[in-house]
Amino acid sequence: MMNYRNLSRTYILVHGAWHGGWCWRHLVPLLQAAGHTVLAPDLPGHGRDHTPLAEVTFASYVERIASLVQRARTPVILVGHSLGGMTISQVAEACPGDIACLVYLTAALPRHGQSARQLMTAQEETPALKAIDITEQGMRLKRLEEAQLLLYHDCPSADVALAQKFLCPEPLEPLNASVTLSQRFESVPRAYLSCLDDRMIPLAVQQQMVAATPCEVVVSLPSSHSPFFSMPRRLAASLLALAWIDEGSIGMEAQPV
């Protein structure tokens, strides 16, 4: 890896549905070793946060991450995985001047007025939709075994076992909440890290979102939906290169998705 120690940043890693800050366990030390501050919080109702599902809202997701962004002492690289793309988009609307770059890691990239549920149901029928139940209790995988097939098919078995132990239901309200985005959101540089072998958010869907909301940088990773497990070092290198984006240059060339 190149030496990025002269470009200190704060990386805030926002997990997606069913996960918690635990999913970033391989990535965090790699970014820290390059001299950066790294935060991997649990969203309300996830990981070690035991907020009852019925009390969890999209606004509470946004508030938790926005508070971390606003307290950061160095420029923020705000990374959202999967459903976390909804949260980081709304955080950028709330405090655009505090964010150096938004990074969508095979993530939802919404337009104004869209909800996560709308983005999901707009997809053509996929194995992912067949494997998910959405009820008044929230969003769940019908069978735990589906997690390996949809999310972790190229990941080490130890990481799959950890994930299957800690995956939790996804609250319903954040799925139905629509983002409110304006020029404030548009003013923040964006990068999209696309996973070419993603079975949860297929490549064609990623391409459609990037076409609708273009990003300054688009990079392809030959990974499943979970590159933080399947290729953490390559993911870290891609994220470290983005430390330059707010200075008008980056440490990588944009690639086609």
Encode pLDDT of 182-220 as tens digits: 999 999 999 999 999 999 999 999 999 999 999 999 999
Within 13 Å of residue 231, how many CA atoms lie on the same side as its CB?
18
Cβ–Cβ under 8 Å, residues 111 and 210: no
Tokens 């990981």 found at:
47
Q: What is the CATH number of domain 10-247?
A: 3.40.50.1820
Domain borders along the chain are 10-247
Catalytic residue ranges = 198, 225
User: For residue 252, is pLDDT > 60?
Assistant: no
Distance between CA 97 and CA 5 in Å, rounded? 23
Q: How far is CA 70 from CA 19, 92, 239, in A?
A: 24, 11, 20
pLDDT value for 141: 80
Cβ–Cβ under 8 Å, residues 77 and 12: yes
Encode pLDDT of 61-106 as tens digits: 999 999 999 999 999 999 999 999 999 999 999 999 999 999 999 9
16-30, 117-131, 161-175 — which is least confidently predicted? Answer: 117-131
